[in-house]
Structure 1
Amino acid sequence: MKEYELITILGPTACGKTHFAAAWAFRLHTEIISADSRQVYRRMDIGTGKDLADYVVEGQRVACHLVDICEPGTRYNVFRYQHDFFDVFRRLREGGLVPILCGGTGMYIEAVLKGYRLLDVPPNEALRERLKDVPLAELERILASYKTLHNKTDVDSAQRAIRAIEIEEYYRSQSPERTEFAPINSLIIGLDIDRELRRERISRRLVARLDEGLIDEVRGLLDEGIAAEDLIYYGLEYRFVTEYVTGLRSREEMISGLETAIHQFAKRQMTWFRGMERRGFTIHWIDATLPVEEMIQRAEELIYKV
């Protein structure tokens, strides 16, 4: 049996990560650390898929950290996440726990597992001005030409793609040390789901989120005074619904465009995870359609076999 400091559960959107992580954390009497770049924002619940009910297991709430830690309108990033993660991680380890890191933001997961030394990248106004009218497809092409760690997954809005390019350009002129934090010895479990089933779940979940009040959630954030461009920056649900609410898209365009964007996002997530395997990470894939008890059993067997 290996002594792990952390258990990591990753997978594409709609694969059931939260439900599995909460059930296993309850069994292990431990706590969860979220690895989701959007769930850090308060009052952005439906669009980010927080699925808060999943954290209640047998009537008890499983603690989850790094959810609801920022106000909407702010720009959270991997640099801040890495430092916030290690603050929580050290505290839980000092309490004798082996936490569960759970999420789909591969860049966040990789940054903390490897302990990369990241830089707090300042805005580059000249670059932003030069790229402001460049189509998203061309921005994605530019971003794909870089070879470093930074974000190529969460780029479904032009603002996010420009920020990712800004980070890449900054790193070109810097020579950061390879690591800042110690790498973590983690068992990594990926939830494997058939592509067609994943697409079906994504489509079904989008309908459910609209029924649950996603449009009203976005309207409420706008009514608070949060700028439309800030919500659009967050991408996916917030980009498309904001564009609908502000009259830039019809309802039909919003739904079809959003559905396509989420499918593309899930594909990019899987590309990142496969890239992690090429970069030396061992991910143990478990069928996401298994009953949760069987998933836990298979995961626990790995602790002894690996």
Structure 2
Amino acid sequence: MKTEYIDKIADAGLAFDKRMITILGPTASGKTTLAAHLAARLHAEIISADSRQVYCGMDIGTGKDLADYTVEGHRVPYHLIDICEPGTKYNLFRYQQDFLDCYEDIRNRGVLPILCGGTGLYIEAVLKGYSLSPVPQNAELRKDLEDKSLEELTVMLVELKAKNHSLMHNKTDVDSCQRAIRAIEIETYNLTKPTEERQCPPIESLIIGVDIDRETRRKKITSRLKVRLEEGMLDEIDGLLRQGVPAEDLIYYGLEYKFVTEHLVGKLSYNEMFRQLEIAIHQFAKRQMTWFRGMERRGFTIHWINAEQRMEDKVEEIMSLW
């Protein structure tokens, strides 16, 4: 099978080296469908780069759309979806580990990996090779910090990072008290108990960005939100609550899980939930694009292709770049 695959790659005039293909884009851009069609063409396998699709049972709200992985009757293999239980806290360090395990397994079988998703931090971390340390929780420190404001936590984090000569990976370090406390926990640990960081080698990849104009993206987001609500997103999240997943854990996951949970516990009316969630998803898509543009400023070359092209044309454009 390995030799047969490499022969197919050679016949197609493609260089089979240590690279992979990365397909990124904002929510509702159609990146997953594109990745699946490309993978079917190249007999490749997809590694997901989505921070919420890792959770079992969180299907509609995270937009797994698993049917997209079937192309002309062929099921495209995918990885890092449905790998942990709802209510747990998945993180970047674990993603790096899981990604490398998948990547090495796929490559060792002579198959091409395609990284696909919209979580920019996860994508950049594995492409650039961030070095991360596994830091245990510090219950005493967390108790000392629990009453501090986000502004106070941010000041503390900046000071600690200056002492450690480390940089803020991104603004999500301080977009909530919970994440700021975790970041302080990591910096405090590294300040007092320096550890050998996990070395994650950078991976050379052809990076494809799915470019969708703002107005089209907004229409698709609104349309998709309505469809997901009709398909039972409220029932899905209500079921998670009934299974014993705490409301605060679902709210922690953000977007659909935050606003629908707040509706289900009586904090928001249905119309308030829909309006606030719609705005939040639009803002999220904008932040995704800001991250991807930042990647370009940080030295990544992203080849942008028009989301509105025919699927065949998009696949051929990627093939020509590859």
- Normalising by structure 1, we get a TM-score of 0.88
Q: CA deviation at 1:200?
A: 1.3
In the aligned structure 1, how far is the partner of 2:93 from the partner of 2:141? 20
Tell whether 2:237 aligns with 1:218: yes
The residue aligned with 2:299 is 280
Q: 2:205 aligns with which of 186, 195, 210?
A: 186
Rounded Cα–Cα distance in structure 2 between residues aligned with 1:72 and 1:40: 9
* Residue aligning to 1:106: 120
Following superposition, the deviation at residue 260 of structure 1 comes to 1.2
Q: CA deviation at 1:253?
A: 1.6
Q: Distance in 2 between matches of 1:133 and 1:144?
A: 15
Deviations 1:111-140 (A, max 9, x none): 11122111223335566556656777x599
SS at match of 2:171: coil
Aligned twin of 1:33: 47
Distance 1:211 1:135, change over 3 A: farther
Q: Report the alpha carbon displacement of residue 187 of structure 1 after superposing the two structures with TM.
A: 0.3
1:247 aligns with 2:261: no
Verify the 8 A CA contact 1:228 1:242 in the aligned structure 2: yes
- CA offsets per residue over residues 126-162 of structure 1, 9 Å max, x none? 66556656777x5997799788353535987654565
- Distance across 1 between alignment mates of 2:264 and 2:49: 29
Partner of 1:291: 310
- 1:191 match: secondary structure: strand
Q: Contact conserved, 1:32 with 1:102, CA < 8 A, in 2?
A: yes
Which whole-Å CA distance do the structure 2 matches of 1:173 and 1:286 have between them? Answer: 47
The separation in 2 between residues aligned to 1:22 and 1:154, in whole angstroms, is 32
Where structure 1 has 5 or more consecutive residues not aligned to the other structure, the ranges are none
Pair 1:204–1:274, CA change in 2 (3 A): same
**For residues 133 and 316 of structure 2, what CA distance do their matches in structure 1 show?**
40
Hey, what does 2:3 align to over in structure 1?
none
Q: Measure how far apart 1:104 and its partner are.
A: 0.5
Question: Which residue of 87, 99, 107 corresponds with 2:101?
Answer: 87
- CA-to-partner distance for each residue in 1:175-198, whole Å, 9 max, x for gaps? 677871221110000111111211
Identify the range of structure 1 (251-260 vs 76-85) with the bigger mean alpha-carbon deviation.
251-260
Counterpart in the other structure of 1:20: 34
Alignment of 1:128-147 (within 5 A): 128-129=142-143, 132=146
Task: Tell me the percent identity.
Answer: 63
RMSD across aligned C-alpha pairs, in angstroms?
Answer: 2.7
Q: Are the equivalent residues in 2 in contact too, given 1:142–1:165 (CA < 8 A)?
A: no
TM-fit CA distance, 1:92: 0.6
Cα separation, 1, equivalents of 2:24 and 2:167: 21
* CA distance 1:173–1:283, shift in 2 (3 Å): farther
1:266 corresponds in structure 2 to 285
Report the secondary structure of 2:303's partner residue: strand
Cα distance between partner residues in 2 of 1:198 and 1:174: 46
Equivalent in 257, 280, 283 of residue 238 of structure 1: 257
Q: Which residue of 2 aligns with 1:200?
A: 219
Q: Structure 2 CA distance, aligned partners of 1:81 and 1:106? A: 13
For the residue of structure 2 that corresponds to 1:89, the secondary structure is helix
* 8 Å Cα contact 1:10/1:188 also seen in 2: yes
* CA offset digits 1:226-269 (Å, max 9, x no partner): 11111111111111111111111111221111111111111111
Q: Go from structure 1 to structure 2 and tell me whether the alpha carbon gap of 1:15 and 1:149 turns closer, same or farther (over 3 Å shift).
A: farther
For residues 222 and 151 of structure 1, the distance between their equivalents in structure 2, rounded to whole angstroms, comes to 31
- Give the number of equivalent residue pairs: 302
Q: With the length of structure 2 as denominator, give the TM-score of the two structures.
A: 0.84
Once residues 171 and 11 of structure 1 are traced to their aligned partners in structure 2, the CA distance between those partners, rounded to angstroms, is 34
Whole-Å Cα distance in 2 between the matches of residues 134 and 258 of structure 1?
Answer: 28
Q: 1:191 to 1:105 in 2, by over 3 A?
A: same
Structure 1 residues 286, 172: CA separation in 2 closer, same or farther (over 3 Å shift)? Answer: farther
Query: Unaligned 5+ residue runs, structure 2?
Result: 1-13
Separation in 2, partners of 1:257, 1:133: 27
Partner of 1:68, secondary structure, is coil
Q: Measure, in 2, the Cα distance between the counterparts of 1:133 and 1:260.
A: 29
